[in-house]
Chains A and B, each alone.
Chain A
């Protein structure tokens, strides 16, 4: 006999006990504070209390023989968290960006699109940001794609020590943008003359003095181009890994057939492998593109907030938390979001559709 609800007494007692325990925790914490190890755990304690209570609720839910309800109930906390912290906060940011909030006291006076119009209309700093981001994005994506594909093709020739090479090209990915920015700041030291150092010094040793340059302190707009070097150093290995995966998934039969038909190795790459790698290139462009539109820490560590190397992420940070211009900061944040969304949403929709079809 199929029962919609199966009462199990031990579970019920456990559930009620958990719910009471959770409520007691919440009740006590809301009256006193929980400070241990010198940290204020009150809010975390309240959260834990809530979760204990919720586990009790889940146990009762599990007695209904309906997996969908239980499944939704378990997902519920994550869904609420994302709904608040992602969508709720985006909505809140949008509202701030439509206000004139400047200063520590919140001011939600509605000014419409004024913040956005000001940014585009007469804000030279934001124009620098847009130009820098554009240049960074284009050069970064091109650099990663070319080097990544090149490395993948080289490693595809199965050289000895392939795994070592692969490891060398991939390890920068594990280092933080901050650490990489600090080191590359020293490698790309712009001092000249008797203070020559960093990579410039290597050029000098190799009698390639004509290559000595001022790196990211070159006159704008080209100084920004050099900030791409550490970024490519970190992510070309990732692009290589994507391409390697793509090449390896192309069946050997196809290449063998082409060889039998008399195609050269070059022709095989040009007419068979490259066209089949287009989806990989697309994912790489999306992923690298959304990273470069958000680029922040690398430039902070490298440029030390030099205005010539400014990007929207840094502008948002300083205008909000140093100048207390919250409305403008929110507007920049939302513009960053829009630029990323234009790139990512079609891709997300596409990959969800193709997955559902399978």
Chain B
């Protein structure tokens, strides 16, 4: 019995120590952000703010990143919505209307999810120049939608695979066609699938760096590029940088805190195990 209790204590001790390690960066960003400017010192970086909470750092950080946060938002919203619609259609057809070769097509599409984007970067840049979508947000949205096709198709395909064929058979007997089955049977059942995909694409596009830094010019930089630039500049105080980093990470962090369930499902679909 004592052994059991000892084991239990060890479990909790390890979990708590690891939790502290995992929360360390968030703790640092929060306390630094809430300190007044005159209390910021690398020597006391771990101390709690002593004279109440100040938000001067967050305001300064926001001033640095405001246009870029806006850029990210205008990119991410249409991207997430459009690519989820596309993924839903593709997933529906590839799971419920299989034809000879449809699995091969699916595998070929899926491979696009794994490629290092460095291997297509040069043609992509030249192509975006040629169609005049280089440098601005619409081009970046298009690129994210296209390279999002594999993962959105995969998540929806796995999701629809869980809907029994009996429902579809019944629909077909009632005379519904391919479009009719989608509209009247599949779409009303799709809300959780859409939630997963929209959240997944939102997080991915918000956090993405390579396409953003290559395909946009400075006035259209999304927040990741601007943050990286801020971190490399000598002009910005580290306390402002910490506050700015928290602001840049906040949208996806909030999505995770409030909708983590769906986020996790997207993650698992990425592991091909629906």
Contacts and interface: CB of A to CB of B under 8 A. Distances in A.
Interface of A: 39-44, 47, 62, 67-68, 70-72, 74-75, 78-79, 81-82, 85-90, 92-93, 96, 147, 150-151, 154-155, 157, 159, 165, 167-187, 189, 191, 195-199, 201-202, 205, 233, 237-238, 241-242, 245, 283-284, 287, 290, 293-294, 296-297, 300-301, 304, 312-313, 316-317, 320-321, 326, 329-330, 332-334, 336-337, 340-341, 344-345, 347-349, 351-352, 355-356
Interface string B13-53: 01100110111111011000000000000110110000000
Interface string B196-210: 000000010011111
Given A154-B11, A168-B22, A174-B252, A85 B147 contact: yes
A82 B146 contact: yes
Contact of B119 (A75, A170, A189, A337): A337
A333 B121 contact: yes
A174 B116 contact: no
A121 B110 CA distance: 34
Interface string B128-163: 000111001111001100110110010000000000
Secondary structure of the B side of the interface?
helix
Nearest to B241: A182
23 contacts: A68-B97, A78-B153, A81-B146, A81-B149, A85-B143, A85-B147, A93-B121, A96-B123, A159-B8, A165-B15, A169-B22, A170-B264, A173-B256, A182-B241, A183-B25, A187-B28, A237-B22, A242-B268, A300-B209, A313-B210, A348-B110, A349-B107, A351-B272
Interface residues of B, number: 97
B120 A89 contact: yes
Contacts of B21: 233
Nearest to B109: A82
A131 to B, nearest CB: 18
A187 to B, nearest CB: 6
Contacts of A93: 119-123
